[in-house]
Structure 1
Amino acid sequence: MSTDLGTWPEGVARHVLARVETTMAEASRLAPHLAGPAWILAHEQTAARGRRGRPWRMPPGNFAATLVFHPPGGPAHAALYSFVAALALDEALGYLLGPAARLSIKWPNDVLLNGGKIAGILLESLGIGGQISHLTVGIGVNLAAAPPPADLEPGAMAPVSVAGETGLTITPEELLTPLAAAFDRRARQFETYGFAPIRTAWLARAARLGEKVIARTTTETHEGVFETIDESGAMILRTAHGPRAIAAADVFF
Protein backbone atom coordinates (compact mmCIF):
# COMPACT_ATOMS: atom_id res chain seq x y z
CA MET A 1 0.00 0.00 0.00
CA SER A 2 1.08 3.59 -0.53
CA THR A 3 3.26 5.11 2.18
CA ASP A 4 2.00 8.65 1.52
CA LEU A 5 0.11 9.22 4.75
CA GLY A 6 0.35 12.99 4.91
CA THR A 7 -3.17 13.76 3.65
CA TRP A 8 -6.28 13.79 5.82
CA PRO A 9 -8.84 11.25 4.49
CA GLU A 10 -11.85 12.65 2.66
CA GLY A 11 -15.19 12.45 4.46
CA VAL A 12 -13.68 11.97 7.92
CA ALA A 13 -14.28 14.63 10.59
CA ARG A 14 -11.68 15.80 13.10
CA HIS A 15 -12.29 17.24 16.58
CA VAL A 16 -9.30 18.45 18.64
CA LEU A 17 -10.19 19.22 22.26
CA ALA A 18 -8.18 20.57 25.15
CA ARG A 19 -9.65 18.48 27.98
CA VAL A 20 -12.22 15.70 28.23
CA GLU A 21 -13.16 12.93 30.63
CA THR A 22 -12.16 10.39 27.98
CA THR A 23 -12.07 10.57 24.21
CA MET A 24 -14.18 7.39 24.07
CA ALA A 25 -16.88 8.98 26.23
CA GLU A 26 -16.81 12.05 24.02
CA ALA A 27 -17.05 9.85 20.90
CA SER A 28 -20.06 8.04 22.37
CA ARG A 29 -21.73 11.38 23.10
CA LEU A 30 -21.13 12.65 19.58
CA ALA A 31 -21.98 9.39 17.76
CA PRO A 32 -25.75 9.98 17.26
CA HIS A 33 -25.06 13.38 15.71
CA LEU A 34 -22.32 12.39 13.24
CA ALA A 35 -22.86 12.12 9.49
CA GLY A 36 -19.75 9.99 9.01
CA PRO A 37 -16.54 8.80 10.69
CA ALA A 38 -14.91 11.19 13.15
CA TRP A 39 -11.69 11.33 15.14
CA ILE A 40 -11.72 12.95 18.59
CA LEU A 41 -8.28 13.97 19.90
CA ALA A 42 -7.78 15.34 23.42
CA HIS A 43 -4.69 16.87 24.98
CA GLU A 44 -5.84 15.90 28.47
CA GLN A 45 -8.08 13.11 29.79
CA THR A 46 -9.34 13.16 33.36
CA ALA A 47 -10.77 9.62 33.62
CA ALA A 48 -8.88 7.50 31.11
CA ARG A 49 -8.95 3.72 31.26
CA GLY A 50 -7.40 0.75 29.51
CA ARG A 51 -8.50 -2.82 28.88
CA ARG A 52 -10.88 -4.42 31.39
CA GLY A 53 -11.50 -1.03 32.98
CA ARG A 54 -7.96 -0.61 34.27
CA PRO A 55 -7.03 3.00 35.11
CA TRP A 56 -4.67 4.66 32.68
CA ARG A 57 -2.80 7.90 33.26
CA MET A 58 -1.85 10.15 30.40
CA PRO A 59 1.33 12.22 30.81
CA PRO A 60 1.29 15.60 29.02
CA GLY A 61 2.27 15.40 25.36
CA ASN A 62 1.02 11.85 24.85
CA PHE A 63 -1.55 10.87 22.26
CA ALA A 64 -5.15 10.03 23.13
CA ALA A 65 -7.74 9.81 20.38
CA THR A 66 -10.85 7.85 19.45
CA LEU A 67 -12.31 7.09 16.05
CA VAL A 68 -16.08 6.62 15.97
CA PHE A 69 -17.86 5.24 12.90
CA HIS A 70 -20.64 2.94 11.76
CA PRO A 71 -19.11 -0.47 10.89
CA PRO A 72 -20.67 -2.79 8.33
CA GLY A 73 -21.61 -6.26 9.54
CA GLY A 74 -22.19 -7.63 13.01
CA PRO A 75 -20.16 -7.84 16.23
CA ALA A 76 -17.71 -10.51 15.01
CA HIS A 77 -16.86 -8.41 11.95
CA ALA A 78 -16.56 -5.25 14.03
CA ALA A 79 -14.11 -6.93 16.41
CA LEU A 80 -11.64 -7.40 13.55
CA TYR A 81 -11.20 -3.63 13.32
CA SER A 82 -8.87 -4.14 16.29
CA PHE A 83 -6.35 -5.58 13.82
CA VAL A 84 -7.05 -2.83 11.29
CA ALA A 85 -6.31 -0.23 13.98
CA ALA A 86 -3.10 -1.89 15.19
CA LEU A 87 -1.81 -2.22 11.65
CA ALA A 88 -2.70 1.40 10.86
CA LEU A 89 -0.97 2.66 14.01
CA ASP A 90 2.14 0.62 13.23
CA GLU A 91 2.21 2.14 9.73
CA ALA A 92 1.64 5.69 10.97
CA LEU A 93 4.44 5.43 13.52
CA GLY A 94 6.73 3.91 10.92
CA TYR A 95 5.93 6.82 8.59
CA LEU A 96 6.92 9.33 11.28
CA LEU A 97 9.86 7.50 12.85
CA GLY A 98 11.47 6.15 9.68
CA PRO A 99 12.67 2.70 8.61
CA ALA A 100 15.16 2.38 11.48
CA ALA A 101 12.34 2.24 14.07
CA ARG A 102 11.93 -1.31 15.39
CA LEU A 103 8.14 -1.54 15.54
CA SER A 104 5.99 -4.63 15.98
CA ILE A 105 2.46 -5.57 17.06
CA LYS A 106 1.72 -7.62 20.18
CA TRP A 107 -1.47 -9.66 19.98
CA PRO A 108 -4.14 -8.57 19.99
CA ASN A 109 -3.47 -4.88 19.46
CA ASP A 110 -0.59 -3.35 21.42
CA VAL A 111 2.16 -1.68 19.39
CA LEU A 112 5.78 -2.13 20.52
CA LEU A 113 8.87 -0.01 19.90
CA ASN A 114 12.25 -1.63 20.54
CA GLY A 115 10.41 -4.40 22.38
CA GLY A 116 8.61 -2.07 24.84
CA LYS A 117 4.93 -1.16 24.82
CA ILE A 118 4.38 2.20 23.20
CA ALA A 119 0.65 2.07 22.49
CA GLY A 120 -2.61 0.34 23.28
CA ILE A 121 -5.97 0.11 21.53
CA LEU A 122 -9.44 -0.37 23.00
CA LEU A 123 -12.63 -1.10 21.04
CA GLU A 124 -16.16 -0.56 22.31
CA SER A 125 -19.43 -0.95 20.43
CA LEU A 126 -22.54 1.16 20.78
CA GLY A 127 -25.99 -0.21 20.01
CA ILE A 128 -29.06 -2.03 21.26
CA GLY A 129 -29.99 -5.72 21.23
CA GLY A 130 -26.85 -7.00 19.58
CA GLN A 131 -27.07 -4.46 16.75
CA ILE A 132 -24.06 -2.16 16.43
CA SER A 133 -24.87 1.44 15.63
CA HIS A 134 -21.32 2.73 16.10
CA LEU A 135 -17.86 1.40 16.93
CA THR A 136 -15.35 3.42 18.94
CA VAL A 137 -11.63 2.73 18.54
CA GLY A 138 -9.63 4.35 21.34
CA ILE A 139 -5.87 4.69 20.85
CA GLY A 140 -3.25 5.82 23.36
CA VAL A 141 0.39 6.35 22.39
CA ASN A 142 3.32 7.27 24.63
CA LEU A 143 4.76 10.06 22.52
CA ALA A 144 6.40 12.18 25.21
CA ALA A 145 6.63 9.90 28.26
CA ALA A 146 5.84 6.41 29.47
CA PRO A 147 3.59 5.90 32.50
CA PRO A 148 5.38 5.33 35.83
CA PRO A 149 6.12 1.73 36.90
CA ALA A 150 3.71 2.07 39.84
CA ASP A 151 0.82 2.27 37.36
CA LEU A 152 1.60 -1.14 35.86
CA GLU A 153 0.01 -4.43 36.82
CA PRO A 154 2.40 -7.20 37.98
CA GLY A 155 4.17 -8.86 35.07
CA ALA A 156 3.11 -6.22 32.56
CA MET A 157 5.42 -5.32 29.70
CA ALA A 158 7.59 -2.29 30.43
CA PRO A 159 6.27 0.79 28.62
CA VAL A 160 8.46 3.06 26.50
CA SER A 161 7.95 6.38 24.75
CA VAL A 162 8.84 7.78 21.35
CA ALA A 163 10.88 10.57 22.91
CA GLY A 164 12.73 8.20 25.22
CA GLU A 165 13.56 5.63 22.54
CA THR A 166 14.28 7.88 19.57
CA GLY A 167 14.88 11.39 20.91
CA LEU A 168 12.20 12.67 18.53
CA THR A 169 9.46 15.10 19.56
CA ILE A 170 6.17 14.26 17.87
CA THR A 171 3.00 16.11 18.78
CA PRO A 172 -0.40 14.43 18.97
CA GLU A 173 -1.60 16.41 15.93
CA GLU A 174 1.42 15.25 13.92
CA LEU A 175 0.46 11.61 14.58
CA LEU A 176 -3.27 12.06 14.01
CA THR A 177 -3.13 12.73 10.25
CA PRO A 178 -1.04 9.70 9.21
CA LEU A 179 -3.00 7.50 11.63
CA ALA A 180 -6.33 8.63 10.18
CA ALA A 181 -5.02 8.15 6.63
CA ALA A 182 -3.60 4.69 7.38
CA PHE A 183 -6.78 3.56 9.12
CA ASP A 184 -8.94 4.82 6.27
CA ARG A 185 -6.90 2.90 3.69
CA ARG A 186 -6.75 -0.31 5.70
CA ALA A 187 -10.46 -0.11 6.55
CA ARG A 188 -11.32 0.25 2.86
CA GLN A 189 -9.12 -2.76 2.11
CA PHE A 190 -10.86 -4.75 4.85
CA GLU A 191 -14.33 -3.78 3.64
CA THR A 192 -13.47 -4.60 0.00
CA TYR A 193 -11.38 -7.77 0.29
CA GLY A 194 -12.22 -9.14 3.73
CA PHE A 195 -9.91 -10.02 6.60
CA ALA A 196 -7.36 -12.09 4.63
CA PRO A 197 -5.07 -9.22 3.48
CA ILE A 198 -5.31 -7.55 6.90
CA ARG A 199 -4.39 -10.86 8.56
CA THR A 200 -1.40 -11.33 6.23
CA ALA A 201 -0.10 -7.80 6.81
CA TRP A 202 -0.67 -8.08 10.57
CA LEU A 203 1.20 -11.39 10.82
CA ALA A 204 4.16 -9.81 9.00
CA ARG A 205 4.39 -7.30 11.88
CA ALA A 206 3.55 -9.68 14.75
CA ALA A 207 5.81 -9.79 17.80
CA ARG A 208 7.07 -13.22 18.95
CA LEU A 209 5.45 -15.13 16.11
CA GLY A 210 6.87 -18.66 16.21
CA GLU A 211 8.06 -18.23 19.79
CA LYS A 212 6.78 -19.34 23.19
CA VAL A 213 4.32 -17.03 24.94
CA ILE A 214 1.96 -17.19 27.91
CA ALA A 215 -1.71 -16.29 27.42
CA ARG A 216 -3.77 -15.59 30.54
CA THR A 217 -7.55 -15.41 30.38
CA THR A 218 -9.71 -14.51 33.38
CA THR A 219 -9.80 -18.20 34.39
CA GLU A 220 -6.90 -20.01 32.70
CA THR A 221 -3.23 -19.75 31.76
CA HIS A 222 -1.94 -21.30 28.53
CA GLU A 223 1.68 -21.64 27.43
CA GLY A 224 2.73 -22.52 23.91
CA VAL A 225 4.22 -21.41 20.61
CA PHE A 226 2.41 -18.53 18.92
CA GLU A 227 1.75 -20.07 15.50
CA THR A 228 -0.70 -17.70 13.81
CA ILE A 229 -4.06 -15.97 14.10
CA ASP A 230 -7.14 -17.52 12.53
CA GLU A 231 -9.90 -15.94 10.45
CA SER A 232 -11.63 -14.70 13.61
CA GLY A 233 -8.48 -13.06 14.94
CA ALA A 234 -7.96 -15.67 17.67
CA MET A 235 -4.37 -16.49 18.63
CA ILE A 236 -3.44 -20.08 17.78
CA LEU A 237 -1.05 -21.57 20.32
CA ARG A 238 0.72 -24.90 19.82
CA THR A 239 0.61 -26.33 23.35
CA ALA A 240 1.67 -29.64 24.86
CA HIS A 241 -1.95 -30.73 24.46
CA GLY A 242 -2.28 -29.68 20.82
CA PRO A 243 -3.33 -26.45 19.10
CA ARG A 244 -5.54 -24.10 21.09
CA ALA A 245 -7.42 -21.03 19.87
CA ILE A 246 -7.35 -18.10 22.32
CA ALA A 247 -10.06 -15.54 21.60
CA ALA A 248 -9.18 -13.05 24.36
CA ALA A 249 -6.30 -12.96 26.84
CA ASP A 250 -3.39 -10.99 28.21
CA VAL A 251 -0.18 -12.19 26.56
CA PHE A 252 3.16 -12.30 28.32
CA PHE A 253 6.54 -12.98 26.74
Structure 2
Amino acid sequence: MESTRNKLIGLLAKEKDNYISGQLLSDELNISRSAIWKHMNELKKDGYQIEAQSNKGYRITGFPEKLSENTLKWGLNTDWAGTKIIHKETVASTQLIAHEAARNNAPHGTVVIADEQKEGKGRMNRHWHSTKDQGLWFSLILRPELQPRRAPQLTLLTAAVLADALGRHTQTEPMIKWPNDILINEKKCAGILTEMQAEQDRIQYIVIGIGLNVNQEETELTAETIKKQATSLKVETGKNWSMKALFQNIITTFEKAYDFYIENGFSDIKKKWESYGFKVDQRIQIKTMNKNREAIFKGISEDGALVVEDDNGDLQTLYSAEIEWFNNKGDENVNEK
Protein backbone atom coordinates (compact mmCIF):
# COMPACT_ATOMS: atom_id res chain seq x y z
CA MET A 1 0.00 0.00 0.00
CA GLU A 2 2.85 2.40 0.86
CA SER A 3 4.43 1.82 -2.55
CA THR A 4 1.11 2.50 -4.29
CA ARG A 5 0.61 5.70 -2.32
CA ASN A 6 4.10 6.93 -3.14
CA LYS A 7 3.49 6.23 -6.83
CA LEU A 8 0.21 8.12 -6.57
CA ILE A 9 1.96 11.12 -5.03
CA GLY A 10 4.57 10.91 -7.76
CA LEU A 11 1.98 10.98 -10.54
CA LEU A 12 0.17 13.94 -9.02
CA ALA A 13 3.37 15.85 -8.30
CA LYS A 14 4.62 15.29 -11.84
CA GLU A 15 1.54 17.02 -13.25
CA LYS A 16 1.98 19.92 -10.78
CA ASP A 17 -0.92 22.34 -11.43
CA ASN A 18 -2.71 20.11 -13.93
CA TYR A 19 -5.55 17.78 -13.07
CA ILE A 20 -5.13 14.06 -13.69
CA SER A 21 -8.21 11.93 -14.11
CA GLY A 22 -9.22 9.25 -11.68
CA GLN A 23 -9.44 6.77 -14.55
CA LEU A 24 -5.87 7.48 -15.65
CA LEU A 25 -4.65 7.09 -12.08
CA SER A 26 -6.59 3.85 -11.81
CA ASP A 27 -5.01 2.52 -15.01
CA GLU A 28 -1.49 3.60 -14.06
CA LEU A 29 -1.66 2.08 -10.57
CA ASN A 30 -3.83 -0.93 -11.50
CA ILE A 31 -6.31 -0.26 -8.70
CA SER A 32 -9.99 0.70 -8.66
CA ARG A 33 -11.39 4.22 -8.76
CA SER A 34 -12.74 3.58 -5.28
CA ALA A 35 -9.22 2.72 -4.06
CA ILE A 36 -7.93 5.95 -5.59
CA TRP A 37 -10.54 7.90 -3.63
CA LYS A 38 -9.53 6.16 -0.38
CA HIS A 39 -5.86 6.94 -1.00
CA MET A 40 -6.74 10.60 -1.60
CA ASN A 41 -8.48 10.79 1.76
CA GLU A 42 -5.47 9.27 3.49
CA LEU A 43 -3.17 11.78 1.81
CA LYS A 44 -5.39 14.61 3.03
CA LYS A 45 -5.01 13.28 6.58
CA ASP A 46 -1.25 13.52 6.13
CA GLY A 47 -1.62 17.19 5.21
CA TYR A 48 -1.55 17.06 1.41
CA GLN A 49 -3.84 19.67 -0.13
CA ILE A 50 -5.75 17.93 -2.90
CA GLU A 51 -8.45 19.35 -5.16
CA ALA A 52 -10.97 17.12 -6.92
CA GLN A 53 -13.28 18.26 -9.74
CA SER A 54 -15.79 16.30 -11.74
CA ASN A 55 -14.70 15.56 -15.30
CA LYS A 56 -11.19 16.79 -14.50
CA GLY A 57 -9.82 14.58 -11.73
CA TYR A 58 -7.35 15.38 -8.98
CA ARG A 59 -4.39 17.67 -8.40
CA ILE A 60 -2.06 18.50 -5.50
CA THR A 61 -2.08 22.16 -4.49
CA GLY A 62 0.07 21.90 -1.37
CA PHE A 63 2.54 19.58 0.28
CA PRO A 64 2.54 18.99 4.04
CA GLU A 65 5.18 19.76 6.63
CA LYS A 66 3.61 17.22 8.97
CA LEU A 67 5.86 14.24 9.52
CA SER A 68 4.43 10.85 8.58
CA GLU A 69 5.63 7.68 6.92
CA ASN A 70 4.33 8.94 3.57
CA THR A 71 5.68 12.49 3.71
CA LEU A 72 9.12 11.37 4.90
CA LYS A 73 9.43 8.76 2.16
CA TRP A 74 8.26 11.00 -0.66
CA GLY A 75 11.39 12.38 -2.31
CA LEU A 76 13.78 10.24 -0.22
CA ASN A 77 16.25 8.88 -2.77
CA THR A 78 17.97 6.09 -0.88
CA ASP A 79 18.54 2.41 -1.53
CA TRP A 80 18.05 1.08 2.00
CA ALA A 81 18.14 3.83 4.63
CA GLY A 82 14.60 4.85 5.55
CA THR A 83 12.90 2.49 3.11
CA LYS A 84 10.89 1.38 6.16
CA ILE A 85 9.74 4.18 8.46
CA ILE A 86 7.78 3.78 11.70
CA HIS A 87 6.24 7.11 12.67
CA LYS A 88 4.62 7.80 16.04
CA GLU A 89 3.10 10.97 17.41
CA THR A 90 4.20 10.57 21.05
CA VAL A 91 6.47 7.91 22.53
CA ALA A 92 8.50 7.36 25.63
CA SER A 93 11.60 6.91 23.48
CA THR A 94 12.23 6.04 19.84
CA GLN A 95 15.11 3.87 21.08
CA LEU A 96 12.71 1.59 22.95
CA ILE A 97 10.48 1.14 19.91
CA ALA A 98 13.49 0.59 17.65
CA HIS A 99 14.83 -2.16 19.92
CA GLU A 100 11.46 -3.88 19.84
CA ALA A 101 11.27 -3.53 16.05
CA ALA A 102 14.81 -4.89 15.69
CA ARG A 103 13.97 -7.92 17.84
CA ASN A 104 11.01 -8.49 15.51
CA ASN A 105 13.30 -8.58 12.46
CA ALA A 106 12.88 -5.01 11.23
CA PRO A 107 15.21 -4.68 8.23
CA HIS A 108 18.51 -2.87 8.05
CA GLY A 109 17.87 0.85 7.61
CA THR A 110 14.53 0.97 9.41
CA VAL A 111 13.82 4.37 11.00
CA VAL A 112 11.64 5.00 14.05
CA ILE A 113 10.68 8.67 14.31
CA ALA A 114 8.34 10.54 16.66
CA ASP A 115 6.86 14.01 16.92
CA GLU A 116 7.58 13.96 20.65
CA GLN A 117 9.47 11.88 23.21
CA LYS A 118 8.46 11.82 26.85
CA GLU A 119 11.52 9.96 28.12
CA GLY A 120 14.22 10.74 25.58
CA LYS A 121 17.73 10.19 26.88
CA GLY A 122 21.35 10.67 25.94
CA ARG A 123 24.56 9.15 27.21
CA MET A 124 24.80 8.29 30.93
CA ASN A 125 20.95 8.24 30.95
CA ARG A 126 20.86 12.04 30.84
CA HIS A 127 17.43 13.38 29.96
CA TRP A 128 16.97 14.82 26.47
CA HIS A 129 14.07 17.26 26.23
CA SER A 130 12.26 16.42 22.97
CA THR A 131 9.83 19.25 22.24
CA LYS A 132 6.72 18.28 20.28
CA ASP A 133 7.01 19.12 16.58
CA GLN A 134 10.09 21.28 17.18
CA GLY A 135 12.89 18.85 16.45
CA LEU A 136 13.90 15.57 14.89
CA TRP A 137 13.78 12.63 17.28
CA PHE A 138 14.54 9.35 15.54
CA SER A 139 16.38 6.04 15.76
CA LEU A 140 18.02 4.10 12.95
CA ILE A 141 18.33 0.30 12.99
CA LEU A 142 21.49 -1.14 11.45
CA ARG A 143 22.56 -4.73 10.91
CA PRO A 144 26.25 -4.42 9.99
CA GLU A 145 28.47 -7.41 9.40
CA LEU A 146 31.14 -6.07 11.74
CA GLN A 147 32.96 -7.23 14.84
CA PRO A 148 31.35 -5.72 17.97
CA ARG A 149 34.60 -3.91 18.80
CA ARG A 150 34.04 -1.72 15.72
CA ALA A 151 30.60 -0.52 16.84
CA PRO A 152 31.90 2.75 18.40
CA GLN A 153 33.07 3.76 14.92
CA LEU A 154 29.42 4.06 13.90
CA THR A 155 28.81 6.72 16.56
CA LEU A 156 31.72 8.73 15.18
CA LEU A 157 30.49 8.19 11.61
CA THR A 158 27.03 9.45 12.60
CA ALA A 159 28.51 12.56 14.21
CA ALA A 160 30.48 13.31 11.04
CA VAL A 161 27.31 12.78 8.97
CA LEU A 162 25.32 15.21 11.13
CA ALA A 163 28.04 17.85 10.96
CA ASP A 164 28.25 17.43 7.18
CA ALA A 165 24.50 17.48 6.60
CA LEU A 166 23.77 20.42 8.92
CA GLY A 167 26.65 22.48 7.61
CA ARG A 168 25.57 21.97 4.02
CA HIS A 169 21.85 22.37 4.64
CA THR A 170 21.86 25.32 7.05
CA GLN A 171 25.11 27.08 6.12
CA THR A 172 26.24 26.91 9.75
CA GLU A 173 29.60 25.67 11.04
CA PRO A 174 28.90 22.64 13.25
CA MET A 175 31.56 21.05 15.40
CA ILE A 176 31.69 17.67 17.14
CA LYS A 177 32.32 17.49 20.87
CA TRP A 178 33.78 14.14 21.83
CA PRO A 179 32.23 11.73 21.57
CA ASN A 180 28.69 12.35 20.44
CA ASP A 181 27.45 15.96 20.57
CA ILE A 182 27.01 18.41 17.70
CA LEU A 183 27.70 22.02 18.58
CA ILE A 184 26.94 25.26 16.79
CA ASN A 185 28.65 28.34 18.23
CA GLU A 186 29.85 26.09 21.07
CA LYS A 187 26.28 25.20 22.09
CA LYS A 188 24.73 21.75 21.79
CA CYS A 189 22.07 21.35 19.12
CA ALA A 190 22.19 17.57 18.59
CA GLY A 191 23.16 14.39 20.39
CA ILE A 192 23.73 10.77 19.43
CA LEU A 193 23.06 7.61 21.44
CA THR A 194 24.30 4.27 20.12
CA GLU A 195 23.07 1.00 21.61
CA MET A 196 23.94 -2.52 20.51
CA GLN A 197 22.72 -6.08 20.81
CA ALA A 198 25.58 -8.44 20.10
CA GLU A 199 27.17 -11.78 20.70
CA GLN A 200 30.88 -12.24 21.32
CA ASP A 201 31.84 -12.30 17.66
CA ARG A 202 28.95 -10.67 15.81
CA ILE A 203 26.52 -7.79 16.00
CA GLN A 204 22.85 -8.70 15.93
CA TYR A 205 21.77 -5.09 15.48
CA ILE A 206 22.69 -1.53 16.39
CA VAL A 207 20.26 1.29 17.16
CA ILE A 208 21.55 4.81 16.62
CA GLY A 209 19.39 7.48 18.22
CA ILE A 210 19.56 11.09 17.06
CA GLY A 211 18.04 14.11 18.75
CA LEU A 212 18.23 17.41 16.86
CA ASN A 213 16.85 20.73 18.10
CA VAL A 214 15.38 22.42 15.05
CA ASN A 215 12.72 25.10 15.49
CA GLN A 216 12.72 25.84 19.23
CA GLU A 217 12.79 29.44 20.34
CA GLU A 218 15.52 30.34 22.82
CA THR A 219 12.97 30.55 25.62
CA GLU A 220 11.91 26.95 24.94
CA LEU A 221 15.44 25.76 25.63
CA THR A 222 15.71 27.20 29.12
CA ALA A 223 13.03 25.28 31.02
CA GLU A 224 14.90 21.98 31.27
CA THR A 225 18.30 22.80 29.77
CA ILE A 226 21.04 25.21 30.68
CA LYS A 227 20.76 28.19 28.39
CA LYS A 228 24.48 28.48 27.70
CA GLN A 229 24.80 24.80 26.72
CA ALA A 230 21.84 24.26 24.39
CA THR A 231 20.67 25.79 21.14
CA SER A 232 18.54 25.07 18.08
CA LEU A 233 18.93 25.67 14.38
CA LYS A 234 16.32 28.40 14.59
CA VAL A 235 18.12 30.20 17.41
CA GLU A 236 21.40 30.09 15.48
CA THR A 237 20.05 31.04 12.05
CA GLY A 238 16.93 33.07 12.81
CA LYS A 239 14.70 30.98 10.55
CA ASN A 240 12.38 27.98 10.65
CA TRP A 241 13.54 24.80 8.95
CA SER A 242 11.64 22.05 7.18
CA MET A 243 11.98 18.94 9.32
CA LYS A 244 11.19 16.72 6.32
CA ALA A 245 13.99 18.25 4.25
CA LEU A 246 16.44 18.01 7.15
CA PHE A 247 15.55 14.39 7.81
CA GLN A 248 15.96 13.41 4.18
CA ASN A 249 19.27 15.25 3.96
CA ILE A 250 20.60 13.45 7.05
CA ILE A 251 19.39 10.00 5.96
CA THR A 252 20.74 10.40 2.43
CA THR A 253 24.11 11.60 3.73
CA PHE A 254 24.19 8.75 6.24
CA GLU A 255 23.58 6.07 3.62
CA LYS A 256 26.41 7.34 1.42
CA ALA A 257 28.83 7.61 4.35
CA TYR A 258 27.89 4.19 5.74
CA ASP A 259 28.30 2.46 2.38
CA PHE A 260 31.67 4.17 1.93
CA TYR A 261 32.74 3.05 5.42
CA ILE A 262 31.74 -0.57 4.82
CA GLU A 263 33.65 -0.58 1.53
CA ASN A 264 36.72 1.43 2.54
CA GLY A 265 37.09 1.26 6.31
CA PHE A 266 37.29 3.92 9.01
CA SER A 267 40.38 5.95 8.04
CA ASP A 268 38.60 8.63 5.96
CA ILE A 269 35.69 8.81 8.43
CA LYS A 270 38.21 9.42 11.24
CA LYS A 271 39.76 12.29 9.28
CA LYS A 272 36.33 13.75 8.60
CA TRP A 273 35.42 13.57 12.30
CA GLU A 274 38.65 15.26 13.31
CA SER A 275 38.08 18.04 10.77
CA TYR A 276 34.95 18.91 12.79
CA GLY A 277 36.49 18.12 16.19
CA PHE A 278 35.79 20.71 18.89
CA LYS A 279 39.00 21.97 20.56
CA VAL A 280 41.34 19.69 18.60
CA ASP A 281 44.95 20.71 19.34
CA GLN A 282 43.81 22.78 22.32
CA ARG A 283 44.33 22.28 26.03
CA ILE A 284 41.67 20.51 28.06
CA GLN A 285 41.26 19.41 31.66
CA ILE A 286 40.59 15.72 32.24
CA LYS A 287 38.90 14.33 35.34
CA THR A 288 39.05 10.61 36.05
CA MET A 289 38.43 8.55 39.18
CA ASN A 290 42.12 8.69 40.04
CA LYS A 291 43.21 12.24 39.30
CA ASN A 292 42.67 15.52 37.50
CA ARG A 293 45.13 16.71 34.89
CA GLU A 294 45.55 18.79 31.77
CA ALA A 295 46.50 17.67 28.28
CA ILE A 296 46.24 18.61 24.61
CA PHE A 297 43.30 17.08 22.72
CA LYS A 298 44.84 15.49 19.60
CA GLY A 299 41.87 13.65 18.06
CA ILE A 300 40.35 10.17 18.19
CA SER A 301 41.63 6.64 17.89
CA GLU A 302 40.33 3.96 15.53
CA ASP A 303 38.02 2.64 18.25
CA GLY A 304 36.63 6.03 19.20
CA ALA A 305 38.75 6.79 22.25
CA LEU A 306 39.92 10.29 23.08
CA VAL A 307 43.58 10.84 22.16
CA VAL A 308 45.50 13.37 24.24
CA GLU A 309 49.09 14.51 24.54
CA ASP A 310 50.54 14.97 28.01
CA ASP A 311 53.16 17.52 29.06
CA ASN A 312 55.94 15.07 28.18
CA GLY A 313 54.72 14.84 24.59
CA ASP A 314 53.40 11.28 25.02
CA LEU A 315 50.09 10.27 23.43
CA GLN A 316 47.44 8.54 25.55
CA THR A 317 43.99 7.15 24.79
CA LEU A 318 41.03 7.63 27.15
CA TYR A 319 37.80 5.68 27.02
CA SER A 320 36.03 7.28 29.96
CA ALA A 321 36.66 10.69 31.45
CA GLU A 322 34.97 13.92 32.37
CA ILE A 323 36.28 16.70 30.19
CA GLU A 324 36.42 20.43 30.79
CA TRP A 325 37.25 22.61 27.82
CA PHE A 326 39.03 25.93 28.18
CA ASN A 327 37.44 28.78 26.26
CA ASN A 328 39.41 31.57 24.64
CA LYS A 329 39.51 33.50 27.90
CA GLY A 330 41.08 30.62 29.79
CA ASP A 331 37.89 29.84 31.71
CA GLU A 332 36.57 26.31 31.96
CA ASN A 333 33.40 25.02 30.34
CA VAL A 334 32.12 21.80 31.87
CA ASN A 335 31.07 19.13 29.37
CA GLU A 336 29.65 15.67 29.58
CA LYS A 337 31.46 12.40 30.03
The TM-score by the shorter chain falls in which range? 0.7 to 0.9
CA distance in 2 between partners of 1:63 and 1:41 (Å)? 8
**2:79 aligned residue:** 10
- Secondary structure of the 2:87 match is strand
Structure ranking higher in helix proportion = 2
Contact 2:181 2:190 in 1 (8 A): yes
1:79 CA drift (Å): 1.3
Structure 1 counterpart of 2:167, one-letter code = G
User: Partner of 1:62 in structure 2?
Assistant: 135
Query: What amino acid does structure 2 have at the position aligned with 1:148?
Result: T
Q: Which residue of 2 aligns with 1:147?
A: 221
Q: Deviations over 1:53-108 (max 9, x none)?
A: 1222212312111101112212211111011100111111122202xx12111111
2:129–2:224 CA contact under 8 A, matched in 1: no
Residue in structure 1 matching 2:116, options 44, 49, 57: 44
The answer to whether the aligner puts 1:198 opposite 2:269 as a matched pair is: yes
Contact 2:117 2:131 in 1 (8 A): no
Residues 162-212 of structure 1: CA deviation (Å, up to 9, x unaligned): 111101212432221111111111111111111101011111111111101
Q: Which has the larger radius of gyration?
A: 2
Residues 1:90 and 2:163 are matched in the alignment: yes
Question: What is the TM-score with the length of structure 1 in the denominator?
Answer: 0.88
1:34 pairs with 103, 106, 131, which one? 106
Task: Trace 1:79-118 onto structure 2 (pairs within 5 A).
Answer: 79-98=152-171, 101-118=172-189
| Contact 2:135-2:215 at 8 Å conserved across structures | yes
The gaps in structure 2 that reach 5 residues or longer are: 1-74, 326-337
Report the CA distance shift for 1:63/1:219 in structure 2 as closer, same or farther (over 3 A): farther
Distance across 1 between alignment mates of 2:290 and 2:224: 25
Q: Distance in 1 between matches of 2:184 and 2:119?
A: 26
Structure 1 counterpart of 2:40: none
Which structure carries more relative contact order (alpha carbon 8 Å, separation 6+)?
Answer: 1
CA RMSD of aligned residues (A): 2.2
SS at match of 2:304: coil
Identity %: 24
Which amino acid in the other structure matches residue 240 of structure 1?
D
Aligned length: 243
Q: Does 1:75 align with 2:148?
A: yes
Residue 175 of structure 1 corresponds to 246
Cα displacement (A) at 1:223: 2.2
Distance 1:70 1:131 in 2: 10
Q: Secondary structure at the match of 1:34?
A: coil
- Flag the 1:112–1:28 CA change in 2: closer, same or farther, 3 A: same
Q: Are the structure 2 counterparts of residues 161 and 238 from structure 1 closer, same or farther at C-alpha, using a change threshold of 3 Å?
A: same
Q: Which amino acid aligns with 1:127?
A: A
Query: In the TM superposition, what is the alpha-carbon distance from 1:28 to its structure 2 partner?
Result: 0.4
| Secondary structure at 1:231 match in 2 | coil
Q: Is the 8 Å Cα contact of residues 194 and 208 (structure 2) preserved in structure 1?
A: yes
